[in-house]
Structure 1
Amino acid sequence: MSFAADQQFFSRLASASDSFAGSLPSTLARLAQLGAELDPAAPALAANELQAMLHTVAGSAVTFGYRGLGQHARALEQRLRVLMTFDAVAHSDWAIWLGELGQFVEAGRHDPRSLG
């Protein structure tokens, strides 16, 4: 037995999932752009937007069946938060994090459902 409310819920969920999948290429492009713009000497502006975007991707990805993508986004977000808590972070630490962000973006562009 199926209820109209269930059908509406699953219809909205499918629509939201399609919307997430459709916006993923532009989201990944924006993450890459912010990574390229991040200045290790003054990271706050780009880092704040990166953190917010990674947080959103982490939650949405898991919800819509992109578990690995979501877990990777959450790990990047958490490491970014740690970096942002310090007054000074070595350029090499930023370079490592930015390299991981770049790998995440490329893997997400290639096959976001298999990212792990």
Structure 2
Amino acid sequence: MHAADKGFFSRLASFNDSFASNLPATLERMAAVAAGLDPRAPAAAANELQAMLHTVAGSAATFGYRGLGHHARALEQRLRVLMTFDAVAASDWASWTSELGQFVEAGRRDPRGFN
């Protein structure tokens, strides 16, 4: 193996370790932001959640968390749809935040074995 390859794989392993070590805090932050989401004025919380979900969805598969990434992408896409409407029923927000809660709980239990 070339030195450049060793350096690449070393950096990739470091990024993988960083993703894994930051994931619990990311999941906790998602839960906290979702808990504070006000259906009457959801923009700030929804934007933060969208950014976090986008990051997790984009990185997860690279680091061996394929199922987690797939679910993060699905939640992100549903959130984007909700954000496009001027008015969304509180029950629709509640349904979405419930799904996010299930995602967070499953991620806490077993982020690599996420189904």
- Structure-to-structure mapping, 1:3-22, within 5 angstroms: 3-22=2-21
Partner of 1:111 in structure 2?
110
Partner of 2:25 in structure 1?
26
How many residue pairs match? The answer is 115
Structure 2 segments unaligned to the other structure (5+ residues) = none
Q: Identity of aligned pairs, percent?
A: 77
Residues in 1 aligned to 2:33 and 2:89: alpha-carbon distance in whole angstroms: 19
Query: Is 2:59 the partner of 1:66?
Result: no
Q: CA deviation at 1:65?
A: 0.6
Please, what is the CA RMSD of the aligned residues? 0.5
- Structure-to-structure mapping, 1:81-96, within 5 angstroms: 81-96=80-95
Q: CA deviation at 1:28?
A: 0.3
Q: CA deviation at 1:89?
A: 0.5
Residues in 1 aligned to 2:108 and 2:59: alpha-carbon distance in whole angstroms: 16
CA deviations on 1:5-45 (whole Å, 9 max, x unpaired) are 11100000000000000001100000000100100110001
Partner of 2:36 in structure 1?
37
TM-score, with length taken from structure 2: 0.99
- Structure-to-structure mapping, 1:46-57, within 5 angstroms: 46-57=45-56
- The one-letter code sitting in structure 2 at the alignment partner of 1:92 is S
Moved over 3 A (4+): none
Structure 1 segments unaligned to the other structure (5+ residues) = none
TM-score, with length taken from structure 1: 0.98
Residues in 1 aligned to 2:34 and 2:62: alpha-carbon distance in whole angstroms: 25
- The one-letter code sitting in structure 2 at the alignment partner of 1:55 is H
Partner of 1:75 in structure 2?
74
